[in-house]
Structure 1
């Protein structure tokens, strides 16, 4: 009815590729949020707060190594797929080379973990949990999200993600009932993801008629060299955003770490929203930037205004509902976790500030600029968060993480203005 009256062009909205990408990415992240909400109280009751903190700490190490496995392909590969959407031969070679590269990187990352655990006796409190978590590396290596994103066909991969999370949740309910079973938590997450990814690869091969060729070592090496800056940008970006738990582990015991980990898990789920927006608009933004820069700036500005409003609302709701959220997740009143969650709640809004800067760097292929901004932000975070954590504990860490987002925004603004004045003025003027 509204569409007939002309108030809201619902049909046009639904057909928009960027909005479709966002909706399906939202489904993926929403399912991740829902499963996290359901699984957290089950895990805390099953393995205890201290083991829950160690499981999360292991997961943080694995996710850090997953940056190595991804090696920036999440930024470069969707663009390559989008350019070659109608060329099955090119897509076949692209798919074969990228998957081969990522599997080799996953094997290398696994070797690093095994060497650290059995060779140098690192990660003493959670060695067994970490070793059982390596399956997550191969789950990341075989995830074809970047392919479906570039093809702008996100429906199937969003449904597959839901099945993967449901399998993981079912495993927790059926098998995780004591602290001694904590080593299986991340293993089950990796197993369910890997299983679903294999079905997606079978779909790509049979129904989309994309062949898997023998990998070309020269092409793999060339792509790795091309993605080096993207890899370091992702790595430093991850450390800046998620390195707080690792830093805190040097200053706090397992129980306190679990308290902080519970609050951080909630905030970091919300923190995925800005990156989800960038992934959703990236294919269309790239096309607009090449065809019509004015349309690109208008499009980015419209997205930015709506994202800032949404981010402010969600951040406020997270602050006000922090006691209820912690009570629901832990089924107990953990005042320390509530405090951490309230302090970190503005993070969602602050992280939204940088969306146009990152998008402009990506569409203009400013890899060196993005890398420079990332390592500067990372260096600031490590120094400031470590100092504040040493003197003020978890509260200091929260303020260090919040200030990192503000500094990151300022750094990107200054770099864009000084290194690419045309791009900066095109959007901000």
Structure 2
């Protein structure tokens, strides 16, 4: 009987839409990580470390522009879809305007890249790679992840995401065999993604009954205006976390870029732990913040201890296994990449400290504080990284990234203390009177 009850409880848990959404998001994230790990040695063997660095540099520029294409829609659009999911006409207008706005932004960003490359002769070392990479902007613009999140139907998009990445891997094996073909790497990634997205748009239109209307420019402009804070917060956070490779390109040669990008790719994979934990706990934390402050802080303390300990274990293992990791991924001994990875290995550990601060900020709905913290982090990262890189080259950038992770924890703590010092006092157990928080 107890076994039957346990089975029913587990069955009900799995059928819960929120749990399903989280699981399918985890599948998407995990598949992206796995494909990234598999593709690294294939690309390094095919195009060499220097071209691999340039491909990743072009990808970094495009990902930065994808923040512009997204313009906060990935945060605001799921809510709009969820509100109107039972009203097909209203939902059709929301979907049409979001896609129209993102495609318009993708076209403007693509035009900017092409003018910079062919008109102003910028990005000289990787001009053609970057020009061929603009297809990724339209892949981002047509990605309907936000729609399926709002509809709470994540199964299909998780399957199609895996399929598009497998096509990309197959494309590398079949078509990328020499450094001269490096321009096609990001092109294939964008092309396969765009093809799958178009299939999903057909599914949304034909099977879900969503109509695509002409762009309503007033509604698009209104949505862009309302997403400004989301956009700038995302932009600042992205520059701080992922902008190192672009900064390094001002000082170093292609081979150094390749060494750093290899180490950075590994670190970006293991750094997924803090944001995934945040996404998992934020619904419960938000509910507890409103209803039960005492349990809210008790819950956060448990999470804090677990994630910091896990982050420490991951960082220590990555530090000591760095030579083996680099050799497995590159199939060669790259001492410079090992040196970078040993320093960057402690990024997940330092990043894990700030999960609680961000959770409190979001639970308290402090968007302006998030915006301020993001831009202070961005300014600090750019200044410190440029300074350290000027004197110490690539390894200086690594220490700059570590300093940034510590700085954002410090800044968020200070901002929270100034906003409501009882939040910090109660979390760290300086007083046990957590019930007094209003």
Same fold per TM (> 0.5)?
A: yes
For residue 263 of structure 1, what is the aligned residue in structure 2? 263
Counterparts of 1:3 and 1:46, CA distance in 2: 53
Shift of 1:396: 1.4
Tell me the equivalent position of 1:120.
Answer: 120
Q: More displaced, 149-158 or 261-270?
A: 149-158
Of residues 289-298 and 124-133 in structure 1, the stretch that sits farther from structure 2 once superposed is 289-298
Per-residue CA distance 1:238-271 (angstroms, 9 max, x = gap): 1100111111111211111111110001111222
After superposition, the C-alpha distances for 1:67-114 in whole angstroms (9 at most, x for unaligned) are: 100111122222333333433333222211111111000001001101
CA distance in 2, matches of 1:239, 1:203: 35
Secondary structure, counterpart of 2:122 in structure 1? coil
Other-structure match for 1:200:
200
Gaps of 5+ in 1: none
Q: Distance in 2 between matches of 1:15 and 1:278?
A: 22
* 1:379 alignment partner in structure 2: 379
Query: If the length of structure 2 is used for normalisation, what is the TM-score?
Result: 0.90
Q: What does residue 312 of structure 1 align with?
A: 312
Paired residue total: 429
Asked if the contact 1:271–1:348 (Cα under 8 Å) also holds between the matched residues in 2, the reply is yes
User: RMSD of aligned C-alpha atoms?
Assistant: 2.7
* Cα distance, 1:157 vs structure 2: 1.5
- Partners of 1:256 and 1:56 lie apart in 2 by 12
Structure 1, 109-118 or 9-18: larger mean CA deviation: 9-18
Deviations 1:125-149 (A, max 9, x none): 0000000000000001111112222
Distance 1:189 1:169 in 2: 9
Which region of structure 1 is more displaced relative to structure 2, 334-343 or 47-56? 334-343
Q: CA deviation at 1:43?
A: 0.7
Say whether the 8 Å CA contact 1:267–1:344 is kept in structure 2: yes
> Aligned-pair distance for 1:358?
2.5
Q: Report the equivalent of 2:402.
A: 402
Residue 239, structure 1, aligned to residue 239, structure 2 = yes
C-alpha distance in 1 between matches for 2:339 and 2:73: 37
The two structures have a TM-score, normalised by structure 1, of: 0.91
How much does 1:423 deviate? 6.0
In 1, Cα distance between equivalents of 2:399 and 2:277: 25
SS of the aligned residue for 2:271 comes to helix
Q: Distance in 2 between matches of 1:260 and 1:145?
A: 31
Q: Is the 8 Å Cα contact of residues 132 and 184 (structure 1) preserved in structure 2?
A: yes
2:360 aligned with 1:354, yes or no? Answer: no
Q: Distance between the aligned counterparts of 2:132 and 2:48, measured in 1? A: 19
Distance 1:79 1:276, change over 3 A: farther
**Which structure would you say has the larger Rg?**
2
Residue 214 in structure 1 maps to residue 214 in structure 2 = yes
Q: Is the 8 A contact 1:136 1:187 kept in 2?
A: yes
Contact persistence 1:60–1:246 (CA under 8 A): yes
Which residue does the alignment assign to 1:142? 142
Give the gaps of 5 or more residues in structure 2. Answer: 430-438
Hey, what's the Cα distance between the residues in 2 that align with 1:291 and 1:38? 45
